[in-house]
Amino acid sequence: MNITGEDLILACSAIGAGLAVIAGIGPGIGQGIAAGHGASAVGRNPGAQGKIMATMLLGQAVAETTGLYGLLIAMLLLFVKPLIG
Amino acid sequence: MNEAILMSASAKDIDFMVHGLYKFELFGQEVWITTSHVCIAIVMLVLVVFSVIANRKLAHAAEVPDTFQNVLELMVEKLSGIVESNMGSHAPKFTNYICTIFVFILVSNISGLFGLRPPTADYGTTFALAVITFVLIHVTKWRNQSFKTIWTDMCSPLPPWLPLWLPINLISEIAVPISLSLRLFANVLSGTVMMALVYGLLAKIAIIWPAALHVYFDLFSGAIQTYVFCMLTMTYITQSYGDEE
């Protein structure tokens, strides 16, 4: 079986895509921390649930961005194939 | 059995890309009308028809509202409530803009449920929205703060006569629309890709249960991202007023 240069690049792109989505670990931990603190905040002050919820969701969405960048890199490597030119 | 199912589907059944429909030349450039344009047109048509009907309805608003009028009043109240609680005294100027993008992004995200490819899963759409926000932020900023304040702000950790930090602050300004648009884009795209994978690779066993995934990816994620986009827009605009009050 002959492996051409293009095959090699495709295989490496797939590995790279897998590595890129490891970026999902960080946002996972961050969102978990935010949700945990949100829960304890509601426990301490149930009256402010609406505000706490809004703040928590906003913080989580911002924290999520880095993970999404990893996802985008993976998508680019897999479907747009910028390295095969 | 699982293996047989997975083997029977191939990569060409997976389809979540934007497709070109019609090509024409404009100033020597190739310009494509794509599926995104069609989906945006459909979303806009739905919104325009809804608005016209709502307008007709509210022209003869009843003292005791019926169901439709109740829904309309609830929507408007909730939306302007969100803007009010985030922007305070600046709210009246921006309520129209925020509510418009809120409804547009929400309907776009949810349109995945009706078989469209969500227009917000195209980077062109989200980037346009983010650029509008960026322009609004900067127009507000230059109108309400003096040049000196902005300059001091841009050199911020160091004193204003030593603009070493200026390039880094400029980059962080430019990062605002990019991160704003990429967040929305990547979230909606990931949902679209997941659904395409489910329907493409598991086509034979994808009966009824994908509905649960639709609830998460289209409804929940779409609504959250809409909310976040509008919240961040409001936060940035409020910030750009400075703290003179």
Radius of gyration of chain B (CA): 22
Q: What's the pLDDT tens digit per position in B177-218?
A: 999 999 999 999 988 888 888 888 887 887 888 888 888 888
E strand or H helix that includes residue B180: helix B166-201
Spell out which residues of chain B touch residue A69, defining contact as CB-CB under 8 Å. Answer: 182, 186
B242 Rama sector, left if φ>0, alpha if ψ -120 to 50, beta otherwise: left
Q: What are phi and psi of B104, to 5 degrees?
A: -65, -50
CATH architecture under which domain A20-79 falls: Up-down Bundle (1.20)
d(C-alpha B217, C-alpha B145), whole Å: 41
The C-alpha of A48 sits at a distance from chain B's nearest C-alpha, in angstroms, of 14
Q: What average pLDDT does chain B have? A: 85
Any idea where the domains of chain A sit in the sequence? 20-79
Contacts of B51 (CB under 8 A, 6+ apart): none
3-state DSSP assignment of residue B10: coil
Neighbours of A75 (CB within 10 A): 18
Question: In the predicted model, is pLDDT for residue B13 greater than 70?
Answer: no
Compute the nearest-CA separation of B40 from chain A (Å).
23
- b (16+ CB within 10 A) / e for B76-112: eeebbebbeebbeebbeebbebbbebbbbbbbbbbbb
At A47 the pLDDT is: 92
Q: Tell if the CB–CB gap between B227 and A75 is shorter than 8 Å.
A: no
pLDDT for residue B8 = 46
User: Which of A54, A57, A68 faces B183 most closely, judged by CB atoms?
Assistant: A68
pLDDT at B54 over 70: yes
pLDDT at residue B1 greater than cutoff 50: no
Per-residue model confidence (pLDDT) at position B244: 56
Confidence of residue B5 (pLDDT cuts 50, 70, 90): very low
Q: Which residue of A has its CA nearest to B233?
A: A58
CA distance B29 to chain A (A): 22
Indicate the domain borders of chain B.
Answer: 2-239
Q: Provide φ and ψ at B244, rounded to 5°.
A: -75, -20
* Per-residue pLDDT at B105 exceeds 60: yes
**Residue A80 in contact with partner chain B when CB distance is under 8 A:** no
